Amino acid sequence: GAVVSQHPSRVICKSGTSVKIECRSLDFQATTMFWYRQFPKKSLMLMATSNEGSKATYEQGVEKDKFLINHASLTLSTLTVTSAHPEDSSFYICSASDGTGNSPLHFGNGTRLTVT
């Protein structure tokens, strides 16, 4: 149980275009979802926290107008990278929580974004 599906796994796009990444909890209701960015050989960098039906909370230094997060239902959150730039190329991972602070997070398999 507790499966999180993230799609697409890989995407290549041209500079200036927008890319949408979906994160779905398949067998549980995700009250909170987290979006991370991971640089090569580095740890996870939290970008934002989203709760169903409310605006996402962005971490310091993350541009909310560039990384649009929507958490429209208890099973789906989306991250849209707008006006993509080569520096946005990275590994993006979502995770979902089904409970309180003592619950483990369930992760998607990540999306490798390459902006050319």
Residues engaged in binding another protein (CB under 8 A) = 4, 6, 32, 34, 41-44, 46, 49, 91, 93, 95, 97, 100-110, 112
Q: Containing H/E element for 38? A: strand 32-38
* Cα–Cα distance measured from residue 32 to residue 19, given in angstroms and rounded to the nearest whole number: 22
Nearer to another protein, 17 or 27 (CB): 27
CA distances to 5, 54, 75, 78 from 50, in Å: 17, 7, 12, 10
3-state helix vs strand vs coil in the chain, percent to 5: 5, 50, 45
Nearer to another protein, 36 or 67 (CB): 36
Smallest distance, another protein to C-beta of residue 34, A: 8
Smallest distance, another protein to C-beta of residue 103, A: 8
Nearer to another protein, 14 or 102 (CB): 102
Smallest distance, another protein to C-beta of residue 6, A: 7
Nearer to another protein, 81 or 93 (CB): 93
* Cα–Cα distance measured from residue 96 to residue 34, given in angstroms and rounded to the nearest whole number: 6
| Centroid of chain to Cα 106 | 12
Smallest distance, another protein to C-beta of residue 1, A: 12
